[in-house]
Structure 1
Amino acid sequence: MTFVEPIILRGRGVRLEPLALEHEAGIAAAAADGELWKLRVTSVPEPQDTRAYIETALKMREEGSRFAFAVIDEATGRVLGSTSYHDILPAVRRVEIGWTWYARSVQRSHVNTTCKLLMMGHAFDTLQCHVVGWRTDNYNFASQKAIERLGAKKDGVIRGHALRRDGTIRDTVMYSMRSGEWPETRAQLLYLLGRHESA
């Protein structure tokens, strides 16, 4: 039995479903919304690499190290992006949330907050994780701010940690949240989403 079992998570018009080859066209279209593969600090696939991107995610799922989701608009069925549990460590009940990106047209909307609420809720409440982590490029300041807005704590920086798509070597900023911090975070995320809905 794997630690992260296939599941569909739903909330506020957003559906997270296990990433599959049938999502190839939708993933390519979402990435094209803003030509996101041109950003140095993201994992978004270039159009010709979309199938390989999905196949890699499926291989990592088989190995138990990553579980990728397609992010879907419930009303239209449109793929909005992708996000994953990764660096899954069942023995210590820890997962990280990452490989996250969204079409430019839904960035700064309720989509990311909703996805994080669903994934953190599943990790802490269903999988009974002790810790949820995040990691990001030291130059991805938008990602760092978004992670900090969730209430995650900065653990530190791993220097010279990974290759970027342009071949340069990045430092990785690490964050985490413990299960005892989740209730307060959940209340804050629900408050933020409530404000968005009433705006």
Structure 2
Amino acid sequence: MNNAYFENNYVKLTLLDLSNYKYLTEIAEEKDLIFYAPNAISPPGELREYVQNAIEDYINKTAIPFIIYDKRKQAYAGSTRFGLINYKNKVLHIGWTWIGKDFQGTGLNKNIKFLMLQYAFETLAFDKVEFRIDERNMKSRKAVEKIGATLEGILRKDTLMLDGFKRSTCCFGILKEEWLHLKNTIFAGFK
């Protein structure tokens, strides 16, 4: 399960598994790194369980989890995944993304999203990519809007958070017929 899936000059995405997740232990300890997520990655036991759950979803063909390697900084930066993969309807989600604070705002996330969108639309030939984001997470909402995702609606109080709060979830999407335009505009120059 430890083969590189794709990369460009900026980032390499490799399958996340129990042989490489320990590279993320220090990043996973960063305060409030996944404040808006309904799961935990710290302490290390929680991170291992998080990875084990991702591996089970991979085995069940409903997710493909990745470890993120920043090629410019020559360091592991975090994790992301394709999830809720629906092969019949050709829809999947990109999410579960967390990158260390030293890697945020560097263009790394945009490169990650480009590679993942390109793979979803051009290799897997899927019709739609979705993103689900906590309504309160303005930083992530703006990030997916910047890459061309459209807000399709808000699921009200649909996800129970670790602290007992019931969050509302913003649903964003990109359609296959929108991808070529986004690739030639927002992602112009990306390879």
2:167 corresponds in structure 1 to: 170
Q: What is the percentage of aligned positions where both structures have the same residue?
A: 26
Q: Alpha carbon RMSD of aligned pairs, Å?
A: 2.0
Task: Say if 1:138 and 1:172, in contact at 8 Å, map to a contact too.
Answer: yes
Number of residue pairs the alignment of both structures matches: 187
Q: Deviations over 1:46-99 (max 9, x none)?
A: 123111111011011112221110001236652200001011010011111000
CA contact (8 A) 1:40 1:166 kept: no
Alignment match, 1:197 = none
> In structure 1, the residue corresponding to 2:185 is in which secondary structure?
helix
- Residue 129 (structure 1) shift: 0.7
Query: Relative to total residues, which structure has the larger helix share, 1 or 2?
Result: 1
- Gapped regions of structure 1 (runs ≥ 5): 1-5, 195-199
Q: Which amino acid aligns with 2:35?
A: R
Q: Equivalent residues in 2 for 1:145-184 (5 A)?
A: 145-184=142-181
**Contact 2:54–2:65 (8 Å) recurs in 1:** yes
1:105 to 102, 105, 115: 102
Match of 2:36 in 1: 41
**Alpha-carbon spacing, 1:193–1:126, altered in 2? closer, same or farther (3 Å):** closer
Cα distance in 2 for residues equivalent to 1:146 and 1:110? 11
Q: SS of the counterpart of 1:186?
A: helix
Q: Distance in 2 between matches of 1:55 and 1:27?
A: 14
How far apart are 1:188 and its partner, in Å? 2.8
Which letter does structure 2 place at the counterpart of 1:17? T
Moved over 4 A (4+): none
Could you tell me the TM-score, scaled by structure 2's length?
0.90
Given candidates 68, 78, 89, the residue that maps to 1:81 is 78
Q: Do the aligned partners of 1:130 and 1:178 also contact (CA within 8 Å) in 2?
A: yes
Tell me the residue number matched to 1:90.
Answer: 87
1:12 positional shift: 2.2
What per-residue deviation string (whole Å, max 9, x for no partner) do you get for residues 15-69 of structure 1?
Answer: 000101122321112223x4245x5303551123111111011011112221110
Name whichever of 140-149 and 47-56 sits farther off. Answer: 47-56
Aligned-partner residue type, residue 113 of structure 2: K
* Match of residue 129, structure 1, among 126, 129, 138: 126
Show CA shifts across 1:176-196 (max 9, x none). Answer: 0111100111123334869xx
TM-score of the aligned structures, taking structure 1 as reference length: 0.87
Residue 20 of structure 2 aligns to a residue in which SS? helix
Q: Which amino acid aligns with 1:35?
A: K
| Among candidates 39, 60, 63, match of residue 57 of structure 2 | 60
- Counterpart of 1:190? 187
